[in-house]
């Protein structure tokens, strides 16, 4: 089934983006607000995974898009791969010019997978809180040596269990140029989250400019 999505018109000049949510419901305003603060002023596309589990229309569903496995096994690799194919199809359908893919948690893994599957259709990946355990579930078939857009590995202090080092290793193994984002050491409070968000916004904004330069130069495998 083709993904349902919401399209938010451009506010100003600037890169467009596809915002890929993680597991469970997230208010759309939070996703789009983050993107705007990061300087992604162009058209925004928010795909709705499967939305059965979120009775409120204000939320993006995702619990079924990424099927959870029992125990510590994490996420079903096939549901992740299915999401990758669906988002790649959506990119082709909406016809944006090399949008930046912003993903959270499993959504970050999906965004990286899409960039590997369709490198010429993406302008960069911002991977927020990607757990290396999810990243390792991306099949070997999605590993390419050249042509992958750069990835910003963004890590907030508010999510436990994120292993930036292992995620970096995994991305490098897959041949993706990586920029490391801010890694704040405070966590927990809402105020701290807002502060992290601001700092991350700067890092992402700077990354987005780098990504645009990278795409403009025809893509390069060296770290931007």
Partner 1 sequence: MSEHARRPSLGERAADLAGLHHRRGSLRSPSAIDDRAPEDCDVLVVGSGGAALTSAAAAVATGATVVICEKGAVAGGTTACSGGVAHIYANALMKESGIDDPRPDALAYMARVGYPSLYDSEAPFLGLDAADYFQLEAYYDRGSEVMSGLSSIGAVRMEAPWRMWDGQGFPDYYEFEENKAVRGRGLQCVATDGGAGNGAELVRQLMAFCAGRGSPVRLEHRVVDLVVEDGIVRGAVVDDGMSCRTVLAHGGVVFGSGGFAHSPELRHRFLRGPIAGGSGVPTNTGDLVALAVRAGAELGGMHNGWWNQQVAEALDDDAPSVLDVWSVPGDGMILVNRIGVRVVDEKREYESRGRAHHVFAGDEYVNRVLFMVYDQRTAERFGGRYPIPPPGAVADHVVVGEGIEGLAAALEERTRTRLPSVFPAGIGPVALDPDFASTLRSTVARFNAMAESGRDDDFGRGTKAVEIAFHGPPAADHRLPNPLMHPVDPDGRLYAIALVGTTFDTNSGPRITTEGRILGTDGPISGLYGAGNCVDPVFGEGYPGGGSTIGPGMVFGFLAGDHAARRSPRVGATR
- In the complex, the residues that contact partner 1 under the rule CB under 8 A are 1-7, 28, 48, 50-52, 54-61, 64-65, 67-71, 73, 76-79, 81-82, 84-86, 117, 139-142
The contacts found for 32-37 with CB under 8 angstroms, 24 or more apart, are 32/8, 34/102, 34/197, 34/201, 35/102, 36/11, 37/197, 37/198, 37/201
CB 4, min distance to partner 1, A? 4
The span from the CA of 95 to the CA of 15, in Å, is 13
Q: For partner 1, which is the closer residue by CB, 40 or 114? A: 114
Asked if residues 4 and 28 have their Cβ atoms less than 8 Å apart, the reply is no
Other Cβ atoms less than 10 A from the Cβ of 217: the count is 9
Q: For partner 1, which is the closer residue by CB, 77 or 184? A: 77
CB 85, min distance to partner 1, A? 5
Q: For partner 1, which is the closer residue by CB, 65 or 104? A: 65
Q: For partner 1, which is the closer residue by CB, 63 or 166? A: 63
CB 38, min distance to partner 1, A? 22
Please list the residues that pair with 46 across neighbouring strands.
6
């Amino acid at each position: 089934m083709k993904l349902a999505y919401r399209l938010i018109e451009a506010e100003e000049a600037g890169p467009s983006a596809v915002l890929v949510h993680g597991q469970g419901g997230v208010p759309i305003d939070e996703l789009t607000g983050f993107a705007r603060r990061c300087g992604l002023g162009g058209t925004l596309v928010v795909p709705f995974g499967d939305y059965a589990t979120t009775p409120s229309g204000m939320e993006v569903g995702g619990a079924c898009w990424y099927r959870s496995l029992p125990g510590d096994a994490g996420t079903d690799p096939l549901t992740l791969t299915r999401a990758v194919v669906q988002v790649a199809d959506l990119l082709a359908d909406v016809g944006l010019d090399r949008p930046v893919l912003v993903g959270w948690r499993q959504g970050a893994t999906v965004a990286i997978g899409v960039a590997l599957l369709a490198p010429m259709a993406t302008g960069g990946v911002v991977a927020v809180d990607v757990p290396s355990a999810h990243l390792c579930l991306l099949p070997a078939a999605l590993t390419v040596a050249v042509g992958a857009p750069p990835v910003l590995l963004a890590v907030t202090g508010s999510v436990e269990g994120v292993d930036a080092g292992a995620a970096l290793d995994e991305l490098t193994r897959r041949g993706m140029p990586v920029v490391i984002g801010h890694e704040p050491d405070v966590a927990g409070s809402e105020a701290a989250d807002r502060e992290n968000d601001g700092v991350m916004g700067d890092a992402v904004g700077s990354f987005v400019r780098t990504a645009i330069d990278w795409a403009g130069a025809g893509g390069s495998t060296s770290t931007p």
